[in-house]
Amino acid sequence: MRLLFCCQFYAPSVGGVQEVMRELAEHLTLKGHQVTVATSQLQDRDFQSLNGVMIESFNVSGNRVSGMTGEVSRYQQYVIDGGFDAVMVMAAQQWTFDALWPILDRIESRKVFIPCGYSGFYEPAYAGYFEQLPAILSQLDHLVFHSTDYRDINFSRRLGLKNFSVIPVGASRSAFDVEPDLTFRSAHGIPQQSFVFFTVGTFTGLKGHLELARAFSLLKLKKNEHATLILNGNQVKAPAHGASGIYRKIVHLIKVQGFSYLIKKAFRTVWPGDKDLLRMVDRINRTQAQKTVLVTDFPRKDLTQLFMTADLFVFASKIEYSPLVLFETAAAGTPFLSVGVGNAAEIAQWTGAGVMCPSTVDGKGYTQVNEEDLAAAMAELMRAPEYLKTLGRAGRKNWSEKFNWEKIAGQYEQVLMGQTATQQERATFAGSSA
């Protein structure tokens, strides 16, 4: 089959959507399909193909709410004229999906859409967007959700849609079927006896790095205990749109969050991190002798070793859909502690690798955690080594059997080929999809 995958960002950009689309594209290429990815131009992308997957870049930015600029017409014509057997788009509220709205009736390919959670569902600026969305969804051949109970799938259920499947995300065998590096701790100055907490996520201010650092500062250690917190993250890679792209991002932030939010953001945030986070890290390292905080941006190989050699992954993110990192920590045989963001509770149940920390969701859909509650949960798990081992073993086993990309790509292959009427549409991964 000739397949077109559409997503706002792709390699070398790093993120959940990018990783899911890359894994699916490469695994389906290995199955003999011809896969092309339509995505944004990136200043540091100096290749037009990667591991057998062709990349078609477009100088486009924005969405239907903030407005789209650039090569929108070229992208639309490319999709119409490409002769693809199937087109699959991942994520709403971004240009590779929104730009297709006016031309859906002209696309003869099978049209598959992964909504990816509708992050703006509760934002007033997106009210009109979601009022128009039902008419768009009715023109699509199939929808794929990563959770059996989240705002996107429930939206489709309320519309009475039946043409959907639930397929989880996963983690790569090539990344996690490796031996642990027994020198990893010493190589990075981590004491062998130290209990290592860690989290992974782009430094956007929404991934819970600051909240976790605050909880770590509140963690009460016994006299003979030592703990290390590793905050791993990367900078968002910007598309090549120059000043106009920056301007549109500012306009979008004002529309969604308000002008006061933009001012606070401007004064509080600098790269490589939020000033509050950097101050918290410095204070812990200076004043709490039994604790160490490391801020890192490990390359993939070292990041995999971090997953495999740390003791507990802690996730305090404010907004997620189906967090890929939770499947990766399960693949590493490492347990996780997570707030109730996205379908984290469902992933904990599916993998058997996770424990949930009490949290709340505000009126805009953002998850909030009490840092004292998070610190208490961290302390409790830190002192339950046998329980952590049980969680880690369960996660590794379930990942190997169910949540690796080889198995998941096969399910997507069925969807893209239209072979889903009797199997995928009637049964989800862990429940009823329709």
Output the pLDDT for position 164.
96
Output the pLDDT for position 420.
60
Same domain, 313 and 189: yes
Residue 282 lies in a domain: yes
Lowest mean pLDDT among 40-44, 262-266, 299-303, 343-347: 262-266
Same domain, 54 and 66: yes
Kindly tell me if the per-residue pLDDT of 251 is higher than 90: no
Coil, strand or helix: which one is 312? strand
- Whether the model clears a pTM of 0.95, i.e. scores above it, the answer is no
Residue 178 lies in a domain: yes
- From residue 271, give the alpha-carbon distance in Å to each of 52, 192, 431: 34, 31, 43
State pLDDT tens for residues 137-170: 999 999 999 999 999 999 999 999 999 999 999 9
Same domain, 411 and 393: no
State pLDDT tens for residues 74-126: 999 999 999 999 999 999 999 999 999 999 999 999 999 999 999 999 999 99
Total number of domains in the chain: 2
Output the pLDDT for position 104.
98
- Residue 160 and residue 162: Cα distance in Å, rounded? 6
Output the pLDDT for position 235.
63
Same domain, 302 and 373: yes
Exposed/middle/buried for residue 82 (C-beta within 10 Å: 0-12, 13-18, 19+): middle
State pLDDT tens for residues 260-286: 444 444 434 334 446 899 999 999 999
Same domain, 194 and 325: yes
Output the pLDDT for position 151.
94
DSSP code string of 133-160: HHHHHTT-SEEEES-SSSHHHHHHHHTT
Kindly tell me if the per-residue pLDDT of 357 is higher than 50: yes
* SS3 sequence of 240-302: CCHHHHHHHHHHHHHHHHCHHHHHHHHHHEECCEEHHHHHHHHHHHHHCCCEEEEEECCCHHH
DSSP code string of 16-84: HHHHHHHHHHHHHHHTT-EEEEEEE-BTT---SEETTEEEEEE-EEEETTTEEEESHHHHHHHHHHS--
Say how many residues make up the chain: 434
Same domain, 340 and 201: yes
Residue 281 lies in a domain: yes
Exposed/middle/buried for residue 255 (C-beta within 10 Å: 0-12, 13-18, 19+): middle
Lowest mean pLDDT among 177-191, 230-244, 317-331, 410-424: 230-244
Output the pLDDT for position 413.
97
Residue 15: give the domain boundaries: 2-170+404-417
Amino acid at 123: E
Kindly tell me if the per-residue pLDDT of 245 is higher than 80: no
Output the pLDDT for position 429.
47
Same domain, 191 and 152: no
- Residue 390 and residue 400: Cα distance in Å, rounded? 16
> What's the CATH number where 49 sits?
3.40.50.2000
